[in-house]
Every structure is written in C-alpha cells, then in structure tokens.
A and B are shown apart, each in its own frame.
Chain A
Amino acid sequence: MAVIGAFAYEEDFLAAAENLKASGFDNISLLSPLPLEEAQEVLGLGKSPVRRFSLAGAILGGICGFAMAAGTALVFILPTGGRTIITLPPFLVITYEMTILFGVLFTLLGFHFVSGLPAWRDKPYLPSANIDHFVVVVEGAAGEQVARAEAIIRDAGADEIRHVEEDQ
C-alpha cells in the first residue's frame, strides 16, 4: 500500500516530507516537476556515486584509447612519414577523445545505475507531478502506518490524497 499526497505549494510539500521523515517513514519518494535541492536534502542525498562512474569511465577510456592507437599500430606495422610506430602526439589526441567518449558513456551508465531508470514497472505516480504539483509518495506502508502517513500529509495541506496498491 502506498500513500500519495499532492501539494500545490513547494513549502507544504517540503514540510510534509520532513514530517514524514521525522516520523520514521524511510521509504518515501518526493516527486516534483523541477529539481528541488531542499527535497534532496530531506532525503539526505549528498554526493552522487555517478561521479565515480565518470572517473572510472574516463580513466578506462584513456587507457583504451592509447591502447587502441598503439596496439593497432603494433599489430600491423605500416610506417608512415618516417614517424615512430607509437607516435605520441597524435596518439594523445586519440587518447583524449576516447577519455571523453568513455567518460560520457560511463556517466550515462552511472545515471541509469544510480537512478534506477529505466523503470518499466508502474510505480505510484501522479501526472500532475510533472506539471505543477509536488507529490509525496509513502511506499510500503501497512496497517496503521497508512493512516499516520495520511494524517501527516493532510496536515501539511495536501490537495489530494490517494491510496494505491503496490504490485509487489
């Protein structure tokens, strides 16, 4: 059972989120039509692990880039222009590009990994959360928790409250 509360005002929404959190509801989602740093603070989201992916990707890309340039030059040795086989200046350019390419790709991977997207299963959601409403979703609530959560949300001034069965 999930409890959904939609707010028209950001401050009410944030207040509800804080109260819920203080009341021991851990499994809450805060849906908003735009990124809200305050909401992220409520959930205690600090530095995102995405950055590790970026770093790893960049390093891996750099290594792969140089390895590709140097390795393929070694596999099939074809001298050009009197240059050395492993010609550093041009290979560094390749390394540079590959660093960025892998950095970007790994950041993408990191995003998917950390955000849990794509999520194909239906999750509790209100379309207005993507327009002008701020939505609190209390997931995994059972029994009296449902009523308690509902009370907190209503007290905070929600426009609309819904209960949704979760398809666990």
Chain B
Amino acid sequence: MFDHGQPSYAEVNKDVLATMLETGPKYWILLGTTMGVAGICFFMPWFYQLIVGVGAAGMNRNAVWGTYLSNFIFWIGLSHSGTLLSAVLHITNSPWRKAIYRSAEAMTLFSLMTAALFVMVHVGRVWFVHWSFPIPNQMGLWPNFRSPLMFDVMAITTYLTASSIFIYMGSVPDFAAVRDASTGLRRRLYTIFSFGWRGTAREWHTLGWAYTFFAVFVVPLAVSVHSIVSWDFALSIVPGLHHTIFAPYFVCGAIYSGTAGIVTVMYCLRKFLHFEKYIGQVHLDSLGKLLIALSLIWSYINILELFSSWYGGTSFELEALKFRLIGFYAPLYWEMILFCAFVPLLMLSKKIRWSWNKMLVISILINIGMLTERFIIVATSQPRKFLPDAFGFYFPSWIEISITIGSFAIFATLFLIFIKWVPSISIYEVKETLKPLRRDA
C-alpha cells in the first residue's frame, strides 16, 4: 500500500496539514489564474447572455437543448464516482479507498455545483428558477412533480445535501486536527467546524454508525440521480433518446467518467501536494482495473443501444441513428468510441496501468470522450425528430464553448480552495491503514 515505506502517525498529520497550512506563491498564481479564467470565460459570457437572452448560445428551433445541458450531464456524471465510489468502498471495507476518498468526494461536490450552475445558464429565465423548487411561491402554485425535471431538482438537491454531509462528517476528526495544529482565527474557525471533537470512543462509535448509514443512503441515491438525469431524455419520445437502456447507460457512463476523473485528480494531488507516500500504485492499479470493467460495460450498452435502434426498424430511430453514425457529428461520435471503448483497453497491460503519466493521459481521453458522448446525445437526436421538414442542425456558439471552458476553471477554483480548507487526505483513515504501533516493535 505504501510505495515509500510506512509513515508514522505524527508524520501523517504533519504531511497532510502541511498542504493546508503552508502556502507558496505557486498556489496563489494558480488560484488567480483559474479564478480569472472562470470570470472571463464563464461569468462574463453568462452575464452577456443574461442581458441578450439565451439566443447568445447556438441553440435554435430544431435543437433547443445544447451544450449547456450536455455539460450539465457531464458534470453530474463526473460527480458520480466520488461519493458513490467512496460509499461503496466504505461499505465493502476496501482499504485502498481511504487515501483517495476525500478528494473524490470533493470532486463530487464541486462537479455537482458546476452542474447546478449549468442549469442556471441553461434556463431562459434564471431569475425565476426558484419556481421549480418545492416551496410556495407568489402564484400559490407548487411545482409539477410529474416532470422529469422536478425529479432532477429533487435528486440533485438531495444529492448535493447528502454529499456535503457525507464529506463534512468524514472530515470532522480532521478538522479537529487542524484546530489543534493552528492558532488565531483559523483555530477559532476550526473549533466550530470540528464541533468540539475530542476523539472519544463514543464519538468514534457514533460517527462510525452514522457514516455507514450515510454511505448506505448515498449509494442508491447516486444511482437514482443519474438515472433521473437520463430520464430527462428517456421520458421524451424523441428518437435516439427514448431508450429503456438510458438509465443504466447514464449511470455506467457517469461512474466511468467519474472514475477517470479521480485518476486525474489523484495525479494532480500526488504531483502538486506531494502525496506520493499515501497515493501509491495500489490505488492506480485498482482504479485501472475498475476503469477497464466500466469501459466494457459502457461499450456493451452502446452496442445494445445501436442494436435496439436498428432492430426497431422505424424510420424515426433509423434516421436518428444514421445522423449519429454518418452525419455531421459522426467524427465526434467515432472519436467518442475510440476514446471510451478502445483506448481504455490499453490498461489491460500492467505496464500502462502502473504508469502515472500514461494513466493520466488515458483518464483525460476518457473524459473528453464522455464530454463528447453527452454532446452527441443532445446534438444529434433533437435535429432528427419526427417531422422531416423540421430537421435541423445545431452548432454551439463561441459563448457556449467559452462557458464550457470556464466551467473547468470553476471546478478547478473550487478544488483549489478546498485543498486549503479541508485536509485532502483523510488523516484518521490513513492512520487506520497503518500497522498499529506496538511496544515490542
């Protein structure tokens, strides 16, 4: 588990807290850059769009959903492995989870927030978006719970709440460690954050139980969230979207892209926060194997989807299929197949699976593929619906492209802030993986 020998308990505290308490100029430059990019690429175009209308984006009559929605799915998907993986591995007691779960959960939280931002960017009148919350409004009207979008609202708020609680509760003992290691304002803040945690057996006991329940709740929740997101599409009758397979397809794709995202984040943590001691080959290897499995499932579902479209044999489905496979966006489709179905097979080789750099490249390619997949779903089905006369075409505008780029900067900004506020590796759980000290040792 530890590539560089086992650290002592005190070392764990020191190493992890150092990433929070010691901040070099590099960090500030990086943070400034990501915030700047987020401001210029995301918020400024969005502000412009708020003034002129959603027409600033490239969507049109034939494709009223565009990259905003496909990005929304992408970010929701990316959120999936964090909490889900963490919870599953917690329940199944997999020790290799412990070094990586905190950052994975953070990824969940921040990609969910980014996804929620895309909802705001997507809707036509964001200033009335609160009408879709289940709270009484001035019209005396409640939202329509029959709408798949309402499922989304419910699922995503629940997911956001549960994930925040999950990550927060897991961090309480670590907040106490920060409190003990710091002075002044920070100490006061972390006193509050840590709830006065002492680490008594009773506290541990309660936290352990509560945490397990959180995990038990989060697993079906996470599965439901992406199923529900898929139903936004599948509950329509649009050819190319109206597929039974969509829920598992989306869940699988979500976990797939999320797991790849974890690899990317792990690489960065290891590289920039010097966690080589804690994040080792075993993690990479396990994630690599998981990715292979997921890519095979993903490929299978994809084939199934094509098959059912073809086998159905209706003009609707065939036309949508044709547009997807050989239409304008066919290059993107085949790029997605290459990145998500074939490239991951390289990981069958242990040499590749054990190489941090190669795994980084593969994980990024997978996520590019998954980003494309979501775009393909949105951009190739709507313009090929039922009435051929209304067949159309959609191409994103520069505003959409800029906002897409900006969203990555937002995610990065949130993550950079996170690593300074929360220990990005769980201190106490890493200690659990260490062999206990014995007097005779």
Contact = CB atoms under 8 A, between A and B. Distances in A.
* In-complex A–B contact (CB below 8 Å): yes
Interface of A: 8-12, 29-36, 39-40, 42-43, 45, 47-48, 50-51, 54, 58, 68-69, 72-73, 75-76, 78, 80-81, 83, 87, 90-91, 93-94, 96-98, 100-101, 103-105, 107-108, 110-112, 114-121, 123, 125, 127, 129-132, 137, 157
A107 B439 contact: no
Contact of A117 (B145, B203, B224, B429): B203
A111 B158 contact: no
Interface of B: 8-10, 13, 134, 140-148, 150-151, 154-155, 157-158, 161-162, 165, 169, 172-173, 176-177, 180-181, 192, 195-210, 213-214, 217-218, 220-221, 224, 228, 427-429, 431-432, 436-439
Contacts of A68: 134, 145
Nearest to B164: A104
Contact of A48 (B142, B143, B209, B224): B209
Given A12-B439, A80-B146, A131-B180, A32 B202 contact: no
A158 B10 CA distance: 18
A116 B205 CA distance: 12
B361 to A, nearest CB: 36
Contacts of A58: 217
A130 B180 contact: yes
A139 to B, nearest CB: 11
Contacts of A90: 145-148, 150-151
A142 B172 CA distance: 33
A140 to B, nearest CB: 15
A81 B235 CA distance: 13
Contact of A40 (B143, B147, B169, B205): B205
A73 B145 contact: yes
Contacts of B198: 29, 31, 119, 123, 125, 129
17 contacts: A9-B438, A32-B204, A33-B199, A40-B205, A45-B202, A51-B213, A68-B145, A72-B134, A91-B146, A101-B154, A101-B162, A104-B162, A104-B214, A104-B218, A111-B169, A119-B195, A132-B8
A123 B200 CA distance: 11
B141 A76 contact: yes
B150 A94 contact: yes
A97 B158 contact: yes
A126 B220 CA distance: 40
A9 B441 CA distance: 11
Contacts of A110: 210
Given A33-B9, A115-B206, A120-B196, A108 B201 contact: no
Contact of A132 (B9, B209, B429): B9
Contact of B224 (A69, A96, A114): A96
A131 B177 contact: yes
Given A10-B436, A33-B428, 7 more contacts: A40-B202, A48-B205, A54-B213, A83-B146, A104-B218, A131-B10, A132-B9
Most buried by B among A29, A39, A43, A90: A90
A72 B142 contact: yes
A100 B158 contact: yes
A35 B428 CA distance: 8
B214 A107 contact: yes
Contacts of B144: 78, 80
B140 A115 contact: no
Contacts of A50: 206, 209-210, 213
Nearest to B434: A34
A29 to B, nearest CB: 4
Contact of A29 (B202, B429, B438): B202
B200 A30 contact: yes
B387 to A, nearest CB: 20
